Chain A
Amino acid sequence: MRANFIFSEVWIGLRRNLTMTIAVIVTVAVGMALLGIGLMINSQVSSMTSYWSDKVELSVYLCKENSPFEPCTDKKGISEEQKTALEAVIKGMPQVEDVIFEDSATAYKNFLDNQSNNVFASFLKVEDMPESFRVKLGDPDQSQAVTEELTGQAGVSNIVNQRQLLDSYFGFMDKLQWMALSVAFAMVFAATLLIGNTVRLSAFNRRRETGIMRLVGASNVYIQLPFVLEGVIAGLIGGVLAAVMLITSKVLIFDSIQNFVPEALGWNTVAGIISGTMAIGVIICILASFITLRRYLRV
């Protein structure tokens, strides 16, 4: 096996088909980048889902004096007896795992911790914050039943299911992920066809050489390897460009939303995704080259 002979053949092939090679590189790069972004969103969502599912709870807000919520009709707020009774009711429910009472001071402190809007924080006072029971459920899917049962209990102003808040966010991320993945699949499909076409052109351009190679008894590997390597090299360059795009998007997009989400996307995950997409890109190139060669290069 003469490596430099094969590589010079590869180089000639790539240069002769420069425009097609560039088209392959660009499609592979964009396709793999979108596939990677889809996977990155996916891993971001799943890490956040597992983070949140431990913490998702129902917030049962209690009536305060002059509370604007409709159930608090008497404008006097919840009495201590009602509070104790309500706590007993909640604790008595089979679905409930744990109940914590959050008073106005704690609510205010939590609010300040999570709030970056200082103007908003500056005119809110401790008394403005509602008191609430934080109800943790054994099975988060039971939240609907619990909410229905607690609505209308004396002293309850409103019930917020954190899961519903998160669901709309996760739903958005989910759509984004599927969009990226479906565009990625379209690009991968286009890349496959393009590589096939490039190899076909290349086989046609070099039909004299391959004809003579066949005649003098060059092995199939010798005849086919330059074509397959052309595809692999184009795929690899595309993969490197995709890696650059993925690193950029991690720095520019995923790191900037870190302020809003608790679990940041780690470099380890990104590295794994990059090597995965590169491997997929190269494998697609090899397969496309082989399939085309079987059709257009008689050995």
Chain B
Amino acid sequence: MIHFDNVTKVYVNQNRPALDHISVDVDKGEFVFLVGPSGSGKSTFLRLVLKEERPNSGAIHVAGKDLSKLSNFKVPHLRRRIGCVFQDFRLLPNKNVYENVAFALEVIGKPRRFIRKVVPEVIELVGLEGKAHRMPDELSGGEQQRVAMARAFVNRPMILLADEPTGNIDPATSIGIMKVLDRINRTGTTVLMATHDAAIVDSMRKRVVELEDGKIVRDQSRGVYGQAY
């Protein structure tokens, strides 16, 4: 599903590569934690999957497509198959829960009837039934993140990228968020989650890929956060 082959990314004006000859394979339906200290290259990894950045060398395949051969014109179609969740939620403050989720479908031109059918389903899936008409500022942080997940998942992406989704949320609420991610993963969606949260990684017992200074220092199935290799 995601295939990195000897990928190196060096940002302009920086000597040290953000990613240094990385090779990773993520299969369909896998749940992978991407861990490592700040600046280890987690976010760069996610940005490369979205083709927000181009690698300096190496090949990246996402959902069976070679990103180096994907024209800019087709990048939006790639992104429709990838959902994204962020630490800061990125909801539209002037739209309610339903409208925030529906927005993701409206802007890719889905018919209204389809939107009316799938949006309530997804809102229920993330556990926000009955709150469809709340505004984001009336919701707790955990609930806002659930809205963001509903928006990321509403178009049934093949891959869900989560960049520290529990970073702004207390541990108790984080468990709820992880349950939703797990539920999404069980529908067959590949989930790739970058995180600092040791407790969550340890409790989930999923595959862990650890980055340090742009290199993979550990790739372990059913791993924990801080384990030495």
Contact = CB atoms under 8 A, between A and B. Distances in A.
B155 A216 contact: yes
A208 interface: yes
Interface stretch (A82-90, A186-194, A217-225): A217-225
Interface in A204-248: 208-209, 211-220, 222-223
A2 interface: yes
A51 interface: no
Given A2-B109, A212-B103, A222-B108, A217 B77 contact: yes
A169 interface: no
A1 B109 contact: yes
A213 B90 contact: no
Nearest to A214: B79
B109 A216 contact: no
B78 interface: yes
A149 B84 CA distance: 92
Interface string B17-43: 000000000000000000000000000
A216 B104 contact: yes
Interface string B85-125: 00000101100000000011011110010000000000000
A5 interface: yes
Contact of B108 (A208, A209, A211, A217): A217
Contacts, number: 56
Interface string A1-17: 11001000000000000
A181 to B, nearest CB: 41
Interface string B193-227: 00000000000000000000000000000000000
Given A2-B109, A212-B104, A217 B92 contact: no
Nearest to B106: A5
A5 B110 CA distance: 11
Interface residues of A, number: 17
A5 B90 contact: no
Nearest to A210: B107
Contacts of A1: 109
Most buried by A among B78, B79, B81: B79
A218 B84 contact: no
A217 B106 contact: no
A216 B151 contact: yes
A28 B80 CA distance: 39
A212 B80 CA distance: 12
Nearest to B86: A215
B86 to A, nearest CB: 9
Contacts of B90: 208, 211-212, 215
Nearest to B152: A216
A216 B157 CA distance: 10
A222 B107 contact: yes
Given A208-B92, A212-B90, A217 B76 contact: yes
A213 B100 CA distance: 11
Given A218-B76, A220-B76, A2 B92 contact: no
Nearest to B90: A212
B109 A215 contact: no
A209 B109 contact: no
A215 B84 contact: yes
A220 B107 CA distance: 10
A222 B93 CA distance: 21
B107 A216 contact: yes
B225 to A, nearest CB: 28
Contact of A217 (B80, B93, B103): B80
Nearest to A209: B92
Contacts of B50: 215
B107 A218 contact: yes
A220 B83 CA distance: 18
A218 B76 CA distance: 6
Nearest to B107: A218
A5 B68 CA distance: 33
Contacts of B108: 216-219, 222
B79 A216 contact: yes
Given A208-B92, A212-B92, A222 B109 contact: yes
Contacts of B77: 217
A217 to B, nearest CB: 3
Given A216-B83, A216-B103, 16 more contacts: A2-B106, A2-B112, A212-B103, A212-B104, A212-B107, A214-B79, A215-B50, A215-B79, A216-B80, A216-B84, A216-B155, A217-B77, A217-B108, A218-B107, A220-B73, A222-B109
13 contacts: A2-B109, A211-B90, A212-B92, A212-B103, A214-B79, A216-B79, A216-B84, A216-B107, A217-B81, A217-B82, A217-B108, A219-B76, A222-B109
Interface of B: 50, 73, 76-84, 90, 92-93, 103-104, 106-109, 112, 151, 155
Q: Which 8 A-B pairs have the closest CB atoms?
A: A217-B80, A217-B79, A218-B107, A216-B104, A217-B76, A213-B107, A219-B76, A5-B106
